[in-house]
Amino acid sequence: MNIALAQLNYHIGNFEYNTKKIIDNINLAKARGADLVVFAELAICGYPARDFLEFDEFIELCEAAAQEIALSCQGIACIIGLPVKNDVLAGKDLYNAAYFIEDGQIRDIVKKALLPTYDVFDEYRYFEPANHFECISFKGKKIALTICEDLWNINNNPLYASSPMDELIRQKPDIMINIAASPFSYCHDDERVVVLSDNAKKYKLPLLYVNQVGAQTEIIFDGGSMVFDKHGKLLDEMPYFKEELRVYQMENDQFSGYAPIEHTPAPDIEVIHEALILGIKDYFSKSGFSKAVLGLSGGIDSAIVCALACRALGPENVMAVLMPSKYSSDHSIQDALDLVANIGCKHEIIPIKEAADAFDQMMAPAFMGLPFNLTEENIQARCRGIIVMAMSNKFGYILLNTSNKSECAVGYGTLYGDMCGAIGVIGDVYKTQVYQLAAYINKDGIVIPENSIVKPPSAELRPGQKDSDSLPDYDILDKILFQYIELKQSSSAIIAQGYEEALVRRIIKMVNTAEFKRYQTPPILRVSPKAFGMGRRMPIVGKYLS
């Protein structure tokens, strides 16, 4: 039996696009001699469809697409993910399911049992868990088909009371197939390989696993579909961040022509780079936009975002706006111009001095002679926000936010100023990782100017200002932030590691009191195990740890 895995990039709710892509790949798999082609979890509608799933018409369109796909599935079988209605009144209205289609007919329906409700996942909001399990019979073989999380209830800390495979294995299947929508984070591929390998070893069955690829707003899917033998040895690993279709020949309980290989993960910063480019590219293409604008300060954050945008969209589609204030150094302006020269994007220079001075004069009577402080600094940042949004409105550019994760965490940014934008490109990348990104981008030649990398970070909103005036050193700050955000460690646990108590409590208080800002900022491309956004839900007015 020849089985094809179709690792594809879907578009949520774009049924015509998804259906055509699926049918095209059915035909391609058939042309390559496949007996069965396997598509990803909820492939027909895209993942995560979220509250679209509450619309009856949406579910009806999923079913209509499935019927169209079935008609095209002649002389070959396919497995395709979609939401299906629950005919029982009690319980949720839908199942997260898969159709097994053969020769134009929907022969079997498999339903997902383990519904993740943590981090970015919220499946129990929409779906009823399956409680009945049957293998699929095809060409004299029994297939144990599971959906993503159904294989993750294994090893030291199971989240669920039971596992579908424990039921399916009693029917003596010949092979496991798992269809998934498993989001990217820079360390998730290692965990994924272990979980899948351990399933193959536990049940002594070969395993085929297919994952989606592509970005859906902030969530990025990295592909990396895999094949394992019955001993848990990895036999093949499909590309990351790219679409691909591969056919595997199975004879008895083995895949022909494959010897075990090692999973060799790419360096974290390399996969973060690739994920961010895919995230930008898909955000624009799936939203129907092509051109980006951003403020370019001469600092490292905006330089990185500009470089990534040019790689994702092409430099001809990126507008960098230099907005020097009266406190900006000549060197910062030149650093920004050097970047523009290096990458060839468009640029405008629009000084903000006149606008900021006008606000100062306008507000002077109300401010009653009070001294210059954060208020005037924020006015300058908001002048910049007005300018880049004006460019967006006038020319149809989409504004890229350039705040990094360290700044987002502690609230070091101005609402409606440098925190505005349609998508946060590096809001899940700590400042120390930003420097690593710069080194990676420069590995084949200077793109990010050296001075943007080596000079002390500064917002340049007052004379001689440096980030270090307001924040701890980033090397220390990021380590404490990582412990608190990614590892969910308490202040006492972090202090016990040897960090200064007053510093830890100050940083955690800054994180928590900045929550109201993060609620008002753009979605952030998720590249870590715990990003700000839909996967981290904190109260704004909570007292704990504040």
Position 499 in a domain: no
Question: Does 417 show up as a binding residue in the annotation?
Answer: no
Position 27 in a domain: yes
Position 525 in a domain: no
Position 172 in a domain: yes
Number of independent structural domains in the chain: 2
User: Is the CA virtual torsion 184, 189, 191, 195 positive or negative?
Assistant: positive
CATH of the domain at 347: 3.40.50.620
Percentage of residues of the chain with pLDDT beyond 70: 99
Position 198 in a domain: yes
CA distance 159 to 117: 10
pLDDT in tens, 84-107: 999 999 999 999 999 999 999 999
Q: Does 442 lie in the same domain as 385? A: yes
Question: Does 517 show up as a binding residue in the annotation?
Answer: yes
Position 445 in a domain: yes
For the segment 125-133, the average pLDDT, to the nearest whole number, is 97
Residue 546 has pLDDT above 70, yes or no: no
Q: Does 61 lie in the same domain as 37? A: yes
Q: Does 461 lie in the same domain as 384? A: yes
Question: Does 118 show up as a binding residue in the annotation?
Answer: yes
Q: From 471, 496, 524, give the residue that closes a domain.
A: 471
Q: Does 276 lie in the same domain as 301? A: yes
Q: From 471, 506, 521, give the residue that closes a domain.
A: 471
Q: Does 304 lie in the same domain as 237? A: no
Q: Does 296 lie in the same domain as 249? A: no
pLDDT in tens, 281-312: 999 999 999 999 999 999 999 999 999 999 99
For residue 213, give Cα distances in angstroms to 24, 48, 177, 347: 17, 13, 18, 33
Question: Does 299 show up as a binding residue in the annotation?
Answer: yes
Position 290 in a domain: yes
Position 155 in a domain: yes
Q: Does 300 lie in the same domain as 169? A: no
**Whether 498 contacts 252, CB under 8 Å:** no
Q: Does 280 lie in the same domain as 144? A: no
Q: Does 250 lie in the same domain as 292? A: no
Q: Does 156 lie in the same domain as 298? A: no
CATH of the domain at 121: 3.60.110.10
Closest CA to 308 of 322, 297, 321, 294: 294
Q: Does 299 lie in the same domain as 261? A: no
Point out the residues that are catalytic: 41, 112, 148
Which residues 6+ apart lie within 8 Å of 94 measured at CB?
53, 59, 83, 84, 85, 86, 126, 127, 128
pLDDT in tens, 239-265: 999 999 999 999 988 898 899 999 999
Domain containing 452 equals 271-471
Q: From 451, 471, 491, give the residue that closes a domain.
A: 471
pLDDT in tens, 405-462: 999 999 999 999 999 999 999 999 999 999 999 999 999 999 999 999 998 887 777 7
Q: Does 448 lie in the same domain as 300? A: yes
